[in-house]
Amino acid sequence: PGNKCDSIYLLAALILLSEGVDVPIEIDKSIEGRERIFLKREITPNNDIVFINLPLRLESIMPDGTKEKVYQKETEEIVLFFKKLCREPFLSEVKKREEPDSKEVFYSGDFLDSPKFLIQSYIFEYIDSIEQYRKFILAVQVFLMDFGLYPGITEEQKEHINRVGDHCFIGNNPHGTIKNTYA
């Protein structure tokens, strides 16, 4: 939906939410007909970095052939679902649905019902070029670095962001000791 760059950042935000990173993404419904998804970071009172600014009303062709702006309720629900999951993970059975770490767990297939697998599947369905994939990886890296610098972030949150970064990306690993599931 909407701007391709903003959409890539939205996918990056969703993957980080599925990893338990509290991404400050919001749904703005303050102006009817101009609802949007946004994620911004205030640098100073008059200076923001806007990562995502996507309209939630997109032009669609109706059954009678006319064009009409249609509210993207499903997009809103996906964002709200992942935000809630991140903030209240014990409302779901997420722990039983972690990534498999053995053949037995893999063969159980429980991970197929996990939010992580859902968003990973969606991302790789949506991204259709190497260039988009590079932009997605860069967006995830930018978010991880930026969120780790937020004022007021706790040491525990910072450690979690670092663990997610280590999980998602391979550093210089001459001994082959780091396992990576995304990159």
The whole model's pTM is what? Answer: 0.76
Q: Is residue 100 packed enough to be buried (19+ CB in 10 Å), middle (13-18) or exposed (0-12)?
A: middle
Rounded CA gap, 23 and 14, in Å? 8
Answer yes or no: is pLDDT of 1 > 50.
no
Mean pLDDT of 170-182: 61
pLDDT score for 139: 92
Residue % of the chain over a pLDDT of 90:
11
- Structure-model confidence comparison of residues 30 and 51, the more confident one: 30
Dihedrals phi, psi of 8, to nearest 5 degrees: -65, -45
More confidently predicted of 173 and 109: 109
- Dump pLDDT digits (tens) for 5-40: 788 999 999 999 888 888 888 899 988 888 999 887
- pLDDT 10s digits, 105-138: 788 887 777 777 788 888 888 888 899 999 999 9
Q: Give the contacts of 48 (CB within 8 A, at least 6 positions apart).
A: 40, 41, 42
d(CA 156, CA 151): 14
pLDDT of 82: 85
pLDDT confidence tier of residue 152, bands split at 50, 70 and 90: confident
* DSSP per-residue letters across the chain: ---HHHHHHHHHHHHHHHTT-----EEE-SSTT--EEEEEEEEETTEEEEEEEEESEEEEE-TTS-EEEEE-HHHHHHHHHHHHHHH-GGGTTGGGGSPP-SHHHHHH-GGGGSHHHHHHHHHHHH--SHHHHHHHHHHHHHHHHHHTT-TT--HHHHHHHHHHHHHH-----TT-----S--
Domains of the chain, by residue range, sit at 4-168
